[in-house]
Structure 1
């Protein structure tokens, strides 16, 4: 266990002095490498980095990132927004409901919360402010609803978890559908409650003709998740091949609507390359950490220590939720998973927690960090997009964290929420 403290302590120390997360993971791992007596065999560092980042299963990540950026580039976000507006805009607090529904629909395309904020955020906040909504509420709601993105398939977060936990991507994608819908429903219920005492306008009813037009215009975006998910689940394509299909589909739709310019394509490619490189660097450097932990049997020591102090599955799940929510406030989801999963999975297995259910709990718990200070990547991005000050946004989003936390507790307490659909479609294990 001493090695674990050395590695994680070195990582945290580097983060505290402002070292970027990728380099902090690498330096923490190198500290552990020298402490464990492998300093003379430093060749293991590039070997492990290449071994970690070179896994074929991880090829899906850059393709899904590119697909989301292409969807943004060709303007499908506008079509999704207009479709949602035609369906629920005429209700009281209509634009708030549109915000939730649009995020749910866009989640089936992008697979990332930041893509939701960057793509739909400016459009949603601008529309809500124009209709008299409180600017802080509009911006906070947009950040909060973006949490649906990494839960609904295709999800980059779930692909990373599948690689770490040696789980089926198909099962995890199916497992994310009901929790993602529940998170959206919880936000709708929250909006319904607060709209009782907070004045929120209705939008003009468009009628069946307007709904039909918006549906027809938004159809390419609406069928994209079905194409991607169906190809994976029914065995027509692997997750990586489905990512390629999603990219090709986005380009074809852009050409059909004549909305894909060379400038937009170049921007999508460069943004995707930068983000994919960052994720792959994190995974590659974290492989050194995983190798050290496995060599020194740190996970086994951690598991036996937890099992000695926690004697029930329920207490363990509460411990995991609290731990991950706190860590998510200070660390991004991908490195947090890479560091913690080797330690937590053996304990989860000992308590009989299904790895698919555990993956959904971990994913949603760490996602809350996107919307909570001090890290709060989503808050910083939305502040830049909307012009709302970070401090005001951080306060406004606090009550909006109640709905996803309630869903998180339900997912942890009731395995069937995540396991029913995968078992129904793919059969029980």
Structure 2
């Protein structure tokens, strides 16, 4: 009965618009009171939830992304992407996707991509005569590449919750991330053919080289992060520190676009964002502990396995569950709650935890583009000055290539497991 009350209260609080962290903590606290458990259980689980060395990567990756945006480094990335792929029909659409791929190797967050690059991309596309809806749609869809290509904040959270190698998860995200980029570029090419969009500029090797040299140092950021982790030079957490320090050096000493005032504002923004994420993790840890204590995972596992023990069928059920929860819950909270429930089920039928992590994060990325949560849509509504409803309508066609990639990655594990197998196993 107490468990039912907890679920009903959580649903009610979310519908009323209470922040996810407070909703989870409040519902869990009510359960603990009804069960007569000591109040210290709440504090104990919240502390244990965030007392993890890998979680230190979160504030540093966030800091690196903020520093890149504030130092004007995103503009150099956009200029390089424009010279590289802007010659194709619908050039700025391809530039949009290409810039997101590059920036994904620095920020690890879809919202950072949408808020940072989105401002530059949408303005450039509008000025070039592209439809606003097309500009918003491709910007929203391409921003979801960020949490798939390393570094990835959701994959860090998943790795902590699943006790999986974050290095393997980062390696597993590379191929699916590039698959998303290719699928979106095919969609952009179709739009360009149908609407007769122009080429943005003529391909000139000299221009590509010049823009590459301007963006060379920022482009080293993903090389430092991924190369350092794969080579064993440092852990993902240490890679986050290295990325933040590198971004700080670029802004302060190389480009000299950062001032101490900028650094103060960036630090405050990083603290606020990190605190919000870690509070969600802490609150979701209590909720997940209650689910585990009540053997919800065992019950769900027995139910699903009674239907089928085929891994493909179980993956379909997992996809439906994650998609449903992703519509209503923020990515980090959803991962923290779902992993303790879904991981045991997946392991029983032989699904690799690393493959499961990529599938879960890919599913939750679709939630960023769909109501009622749709964080990327809310950000782009502010950036572009159009309504949330219009952003949703503009983004809907771009869900098609993303769903195709999701299905391929879900049912062909080699797409996500090939690189981890080569480098780690």
Structure 1, 146-155 or 345-354: larger mean CA deviation: 345-354
Query: After superposition, what is the alpha-carbon deviation per residue over 1:395-416, rounded to whole angstroms, capped at 9, x for unaligned?
Result: 1111100011100000111010
Tell me the SS of whatever aligns to 1:269: helix
Aligned to 2:295: 297
2:306 to 297, 308, 314: 308
Structure 1, 338-347 or 96-105: larger mean CA deviation: 338-347
How far is the alpha carbon of 1:17 from its aligned partner? 1.7
- Aligned counterparts, 1:74-113, within 5 A: 74-113=71-110
Q: Which runs of 4+ in 1 moved over 6 A?
A: none
Query: After superposition, what is the alpha-carbon deviation per residue over 1:51-85, rounded to whole angstroms, capped at 9, x for unaligned?
Result: 11121221111111111111111111000000000
- Aligned counterparts, 1:3-152, within 5 A: 4-38=3-37, 41-152=38-149
Residue segments in structure 1 that go unaligned for 5+ positions in a row: none
In structure 1, C-alpha distance between the alignment counterparts of 2:4 and 2:421, rounded to whole Å: 39
Q: Contact 1:15–1:21 at 8 Å: present in 2 too?
A: yes
In structure 1, C-alpha distance between the alignment counterparts of 2:176 and 2:3, rounded to whole Å: 33
How far is the alpha carbon of 1:11 from its aligned partner? 1.6
Q: Contact 1:148–1:183 at 8 Å: present in 2 too?
A: yes
In structure 1, C-alpha distance between the alignment counterparts of 2:119 and 2:130, rounded to whole Å: 14
2:354 to 353, 356, 361: 356
Query: After superposition, what is the alpha-carbon deviation per residue over 1:381-406, rounded to whole angstroms, capped at 9, x for unaligned?
Result: 10100112211111111110001110
In structure 2, C-alpha distance between the alignment counterparts of 1:110 and 1:156, rounded to whole Å: 9
Q: TM-score, normalised by structure 1?
A: 0.96
Structure 1, 336-345 or 322-331: larger mean CA deviation: 322-331
Q: Contact 1:4–1:298 at 8 Å: present in 2 too?
A: no
Seen in structure 2, the aligned counterparts of structure 1 residues 259 and 211 have a Cα distance that, compared at 3 Å, is same
Tell me the SS of whatever aligns to 2:29: helix
- Equivalenced residue count is 424
Aligned to 1:345: 343
Tell me the SS of whatever aligns to 2:195: coil
In structure 1, C-alpha distance between the alignment counterparts of 2:391 and 2:16, rounded to whole Å: 26
Aligned to 2:235: 238
Query: After superposition, what is the alpha-carbon deviation per residue over 1:75-121, rounded to whole angstroms, capped at 9, x for unaligned?
Result: 11000000000011111100000000000000000000011011100
In structure 2, C-alpha distance between the alignment counterparts of 1:395 and 1:5, rounded to whole Å: 36
Tell me the SS of whatever aligns to 1:152: coil
2:410 to 406, 409, 412: 412
In structure 1, C-alpha distance between the alignment counterparts of 2:115 and 2:391, rounded to whole Å: 16
Residue segments in structure 2 that go unaligned for 5+ positions in a row: none
- Aligned counterparts, 1:265-304, within 5 A: 265-304=263-302
In structure 2, C-alpha distance between the alignment counterparts of 1:17 and 1:203, rounded to whole Å: 46
1:214 to 211, 214, 217: 211
In structure 1, C-alpha distance between the alignment counterparts of 2:317 and 2:6, rounded to whole Å: 22
How far is the alpha carbon of 1:3 from its aligned partner? 5.5
Aligned to 2:423: 425
In structure 1, C-alpha distance between the alignment counterparts of 2:53 and 2:130, rounded to whole Å: 46
- RMSD, aligned α-carbons: 1.3
In structure 2, C-alpha distance between the alignment counterparts of 1:382 and 1:20, rounded to whole Å: 20
In structure 2, C-alpha distance between the alignment counterparts of 1:199 and 1:393, rounded to whole Å: 22
